[in-house]
Chains A and B, each alone.
Chain A
């Protein structure tokens, strides 16, 4: 089944403790991205990657890191999480860039709480 898989689905952590949220897609998509969703703010892009070893900042990249060593994986790293990073996170992939009229396929989300 074609899908984007995020892990974990739920995570509670303490301030400053490094964490990684994994994202994997099995559709051979070139484009992957991370979003955070907060009430009243919709989805905001954190980072995106147009291909292996190519990443770029989205609208809210501060406090996050990503890597794209393989086409299928795009982990999101929080080196020193803070409470304002408590949010619902989504990974998405797309067969091509959105300028080519591609649609995004989303994972099921990771609800992160930083205390």
Chain B
């Protein structure tokens, strides 16, 4: 079963602009994680936010979490061509050990 759903499914922006991706989920979570996947390759962990946190930063990444709306957003500032990839949110629910992934946002940075 899928927990997270990313929005938009695809996003194209000019290099240097900011990119925002959203993730909605259905049940209460322990934590939420964001991953990046370059075309057909393994996923790479970007950032983790706990259910009691509202915002977290890591370099050019900013993640927010709104547990009342069951949603999270990932902001990439000053985008670069190398940011072109698919981005997935993944949730960890209370009561199980699984990392449940959404369907992803395909981000294209136009040089």
Contacts and interface: CB of A to CB of B under 8 A. Distances in A.
Interface stretch (A11-19, A63-71, A77-85, A99-107): A99-107
Given A99-B97, A111-B40, A41 B103 contact: yes
B92 A98 contact: yes
Contacts of B104: 42
A42 B41 contact: no
Interface size grouping (class) on chain A: 20 to 34
A45 B99 contact: yes
Interface in A70-115: 88, 90, 92, 97-99, 101, 103-109, 111
Nearest to B1: A59
Contacts of B90: 104
A103 to B, nearest CB: 4
Interface string B90-105: 1010100111111110
A43 B31 contact: no
A33 B92 CA distance: 14
B42 A109 contact: yes
B42 A107 contact: yes
B45 interface: yes
A61 to B, nearest CB: 12
B98 A48 contact: yes
B45 A104 contact: yes
A37 B42 CA distance: 11
Listed residue (A41, A99, A109, A111) with the most chain B CB atoms within 10 angstroms of its CB:
A99
Nearest to A109: B42
Interface of A: 4, 31, 33, 35, 40-45, 48, 50, 56, 58-59, 88, 90, 92, 97-99, 101, 103-109, 111
